[in-house]
């Protein structure tokens, strides 16, 4: 195994970065929840008034739910990728820090799209936030593939290829959402339910697992 570069000896440990990641995701999810509140001074005089108000904020509540699912999806994806990290170097550390920077922007872009969901720019900015998150995960995988000394023995080329393909396929959705938003911002927003649905659908996950298995077997035969 290639020894670490002298400048990487004093970098934070993998465990410290994992603890930071969990903390940042907790804060981001909390900020999402704090933005879901009734307007100050609003009082309901009847059950019907309350139900009408909930119907009027259905769009805003929906985007917060979608953003929660998006954050959960990225937390799971990062956890899955990070288990293949043996140690960090400077580049891998900064990829993760920039990833966390983009995670902290999700509550802001969510609030922007919830309050201005009919504007194309707000949808495009939200989609750009998601695209950049996928890009950072892709750079994470690329760094491990180019520097095997940073990865565990379980990180095979087949697994790296499968992870890269999956990230590219998911990245298409926010890009399409940008294009859809040019014609209908509302439908552009609805596109963000798709990655969460695909990620958390058991059948979809089973197909990905089988794909990983086929890729690994193919690599072994080679």
* 165 vs 133 pLDDT, higher one: 133
b/e burial code for range 53-90 (CB count within 10 A of at least 16 → b): eeeeeeebebbbebbbbbbebbbebbeebbebbeebbe
Classify residue 142: in a domain, yes or no. yes
Domain annotation covers residue 1: no
Domain count, the chain: 1
pLDDT band at 222 (very low <50, low <70, confident <90, very high): very low
| Residues above pLDDT 90, as percent of the chain | 30
Q: Which residue has the higher pLDDT, 59 or 72?
A: 72
Which of 52-66, 69-83, 108-122 tops mean pLDDT? 69-83
Instruction: Domain of residue 127: give its range.
Output: 11-35+44-221
Q: What is the pLDDT confidence band of residue 196, given thresholds at 50, 70 and 90?
A: low
For residue 85, tell me if it sits in a domain: yes
Q: What is the per-residue pLDDT for 215?
A: 47
In a domain, 214, yes or no: yes
Q: Considering the domain boundaries, does residue 173 fall inside one?
A: yes
97 has a pLDDT exceeding 90: yes
Mean pLDDT of 162-174: 84
Query: Mean pLDDT throughout 59-65?
Result: 78
CA distance 25 to 44: 34
pTM of the model: 0.80
Q: Is residue 90 part of a domain?
A: yes
Closest CA to 21 of 66, 88, 114, 113: 88
How far CA 131 is from CA of 13, 127, 152, 167, in Å, comes to 28, 6, 27, 10
CB-neighbour burial class of residue 9 (10 A; exposed 0-12, middle 13-18, buried 19+)? exposed
């Amino acid at each position: 195994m290639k020894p670490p570069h002298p400048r990487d000896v004093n970098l934070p440990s993998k465990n410290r970065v994992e603890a930071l990641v969990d903390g940042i995701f907790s804060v981001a999810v909390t900020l999402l929840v704090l933005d879901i509140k009734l307007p100050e001074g609003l009082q309901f005089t009847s059950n019907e008034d309350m139900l009408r108000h909930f119907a009027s904020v259905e769009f805003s509540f929906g985007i917060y739910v979608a953003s929660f699912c998006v954050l959960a999806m990225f937390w799971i994806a990062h956890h899955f990728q990070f288990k293949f990290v043996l140690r960090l170097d400077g580049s891998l550390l900064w990829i993760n820090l920039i990833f966390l920077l983009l995670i902290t922007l999700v509550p802001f872009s969510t609030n922007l799209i919830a309050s201005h969901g009919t504007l194309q720019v707000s949808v495009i900015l939200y989609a750009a936030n998601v695209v950049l998150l996928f890009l950072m995960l892709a750079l994470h995988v690329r760094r491990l593939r180019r520097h095997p000394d940073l990865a565990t023995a379980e990180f095979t080329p087949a697994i790296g290829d499968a992870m890269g393909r999956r990230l590219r396929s998911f990245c298409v959705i926010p890009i399409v959402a940008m294009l859809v938003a040019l014609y209908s911002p509302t439908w552009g927003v609805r596109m963000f339910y798709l990655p969460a649905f695909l990620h958390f659908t058991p059948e979809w996950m089973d197909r990905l697992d089988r794909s990983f298995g086929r890729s690994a077997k193919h690599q072994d035969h080679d």
